[in-house]
A and B are shown apart, each in its own frame.
Chain A
Amino acid sequence: MSYKYFPKQTNEDGTKEYRTVIRLSDNAIIPIDNNNTDYKEVLAWIDEGNTISSPDE
């Protein structure tokens, strides 16, 4: 399993942040939300030493 960030989104104050990551196996859009079950898997994957790839801008 591997992931990449979706491009950063602009907040109301003009700052930008990542809000979702893409699961590359099926292009699922996973919100960066600690209560989302799929994002918990992303966090576990990161704990194993992996890194989310940068987005296609």
Chain B
Amino acid sequence: MGILTRTIANNLGENPNPGANYRNFLINGSMVFFRRGQSFTSNGYTADRWTMDESTDGAVTVSQTSDVPAGIGIKNALKIDVTTADTSIAANQYCGLTQFIEGQNMTKLNYGTANAENMMLSFWVKSNKTGIYCVRFVKEAGDETRYETPIEYTINASNTWEKKNISLSPTAGGTALITASAGAIKQNANAGFRIQFTHAVGTDYQATNNTWVAGSNKMGTTNSVNLLDSTSNEWYLTGVQLEMGTSTTSFEHLPEDVELTRCQRYYQFEDGSVGNGGTSHATPSLDFTIAVNYRLAPAMRVAPTVTISGTNAQYNSSNVAVSANINTVSATMWHYGRKQTGSGSAIYGVEYSDIKFNAEL
């Protein structure tokens, strides 16, 4: 009976190491996937799902690193290295690392009702520059109102990995914005929520700590440090988890194939070549198509933007380039090539390489 009692107790939630249940609203919180490259000096997506936005007079490089906290089972982190300093951040300047979350993945929060739930953000962070930093939380507008709040955290020790926990109340600052109807998160495949780790915040973008307000760009507080004030500065992040509740749990380690599939919903690529060739017609009345049907798996969030960085060619039977005129893209398929009509010689083949499919939020 003792064994039976303990089994029931464990099933009731006493397991200190719960299995995967997708409790983390964020994707690639362990920074394991950097499928767009290993190092970035421009704004835009860096690690999968994480986008950098730096608008100061300085500059940063974002990269993947194996410098990680010991003993937590994580092998990668994201590193921001200041390469050009800006010691005086202008009022309208900022720097931050963001992840957007689909609204339909946050249904259980019950935002927009009196039953709106608390969230906990936990993460590991390290920097040589100690002091107060901020995380910006954004409830996206959808068809309602955008609400934001910055919340401070402190890096206490230089060059030391520290675990931080932030509690985000739906009534932060004694407000009732999130619990009113306009606080609802739109339940669709568009952005419903956002978190942004900020590293420099001009006065235009400063707000009261831990207090929801309507509006935009509430990235930090007056206490926020300026990471960009020296080229000696570095900032590291990993093990990022945003979950419902009033206490944190250990980082949810999803199998890498599962985490990869979740990333592929937003970004896919083909490094090699795809093509269709060898067909040739020469008749008085042409009406046929040579194209590629590139299947996107898993299905992407929406029909993606397609960028062809390598070969992008259609040739006729004389090996002369002609333009593509067939082009349809959906969340599951890209159909692209040439339909030839009229008379005379037809196209010989099509070839495309280094293709990127972007369906980010």
Tell me whether A47 is interfacial, beta carbon within 8 Å: no
CA distance A28 to B323 in the complex (A): 15
Name which residue of chain A comes closest to B312, CB basis: A27
**Across-interface contacts of A37 in B (CB, < 8 A):** 305, 358-361
CA distance A30 to B306 in the complex (A): 7
Given A29-B305, A29-B306, A31-B303, is A9 in contact with B327 using a C-beta cutoff of 8 Å?
yes
CA distance A4 to B302 in the complex (A): 21
Name which residue of chain A comes closest to B326, CB basis: A9
Residues in chain B within 8 A of chain A (CB atoms) = 188-190, 301-308, 312, 323, 325-330, 336, 358-361
**Across-interface contacts of A35 in B (CB, < 8 A):** 188-190, 301-302
**Across-interface contacts of B307 in A (CB, < 8 A):** 26-29
CA distance A38 to B358 in the complex (A): 9
CA distance A33 to B302 in the complex (A): 8
CB distance from A4 to the nearest CB of B (A): 12
**Across-interface contacts of A7 in B (CB, < 8 A):** 325, 327
Count residues of chain A with CB under 8 A from any CB of chain B. 19
Tell me whether A48 is interfacial, beta carbon within 8 Å: no
Name which residue of chain A comes closest to B303, CB basis: A31
Given A28-B307, A36-B303, A56-B323, is A19 in contact with B328 using a C-beta cutoff of 8 Å?
yes
**Across-interface contacts of B189 in A (CB, < 8 A):** 35
Q: Which 6 residue pairs are nearest across A and B when measured between Cβ atoms?
A: A31-B303, A29-B306, A35-B302, A38-B305, A33-B303, A28-B307
CB distance from B354 to the nearest CB of A (A): 12
Over the window 44-55 of chain A, the binary record of Cβ atoms lying under 8 Å from chain B Cβ atoms (1 yes, 0 no) is 000000000000
**Across-interface contacts of A33 in B (CB, < 8 A):** 302-303
Name which residue of chain B comes closest to A30, CB basis: B305
Within 8 Å by CB of A31, from B188, B301, B305, B308, lies B305
Given A35-B190, A37-B361, is A27 in contact with B327 using a C-beta cutoff of 8 Å?
no
Sample of 17 further A-B pairs with CB below 8 A, known A19-B328, A29-B336, A33-B303: A7-B327, A9-B326, A9-B328, A20-B327, A26-B307, A27-B307, A27-B308, A28-B307, A30-B305, A31-B302, A31-B329, A35-B301, A36-B303, A37-B361, A38-B305, A38-B358, A56-B323
